[in-house]
Amino acid sequence: MCELFAYSSRVPARVRFAFREFARHGGPHAANPDGWGAAYYEGSDAHVLREAQPALASAFVPVLEKHDFHSPLVIAHIRRASRGPVTLVNTQPFARELFGKRHVFAHNGDLPDIEQALPLAHAAHRPMGQTDSEHAFYVLMQSLQVLDAAGESGDLKRRIEAVSDFAAKLRTLGAANFLFTDGDLLFAHAHRRRSHPGNTWVPGLHLLMREAASEHQMRASGLHVQGRDDKPAPAVMLASVPLTPEDWEPLPENTLLVVQQGRLIARLGA
Topology of domain 3-268 in CATH is Glutamine Phosphoribosylpyrophosphate, subunit 1, domain 1 (3.60.20)
Q: What angle do CA 108, 16, 178 make, to 5 degrees?
A: 15
Q: Is the pTM of this model over 0.85?
A: yes
Backbone angles phi, psi at 88, to 5 degrees: -60, -40
107 C-beta neighbours (distance < 10 Å), count: 27
Distance CA 213, CA 135 (A): 40
Which residue in 173, 161, 126, 124 sits closest to 256, CA to CA?
A: 161
**Cis amide prior to 12 (ω within 30 degrees):** no
pLDDT of residue 31: 52
Q: List the pLDDT tens digit at each of the 270 positions of the chain.
A: 578 999 999 888 888 776 666 656 555 455 557 888 889 999 889 999 898 887 667 777 777 777 778 899 999 998 876 777 889 999 999 999 988 899 999 999 999 999 999 999 876 678 999 999 999 999 999 999 888 777 776 789 999 999 999 999 999 999 999 999 999 999 999 999 877 666 778 899 999 998 765 455 666 656 677 776 566 788 899 999 888 888 899 999 999 999 999 999 999 996
Distance CA 223, CA 151 (A): 41
β strands within the chain, DSSP E: 3-17, 36-42, 45-51, 71-78, 94-98, 101-108, 177-181, 185-190, 192-194, 201-203, 206-210, 217-220, 223-227, 235-239, 249-250, 255-260, 263-268
pLDDT of residue 214: 47
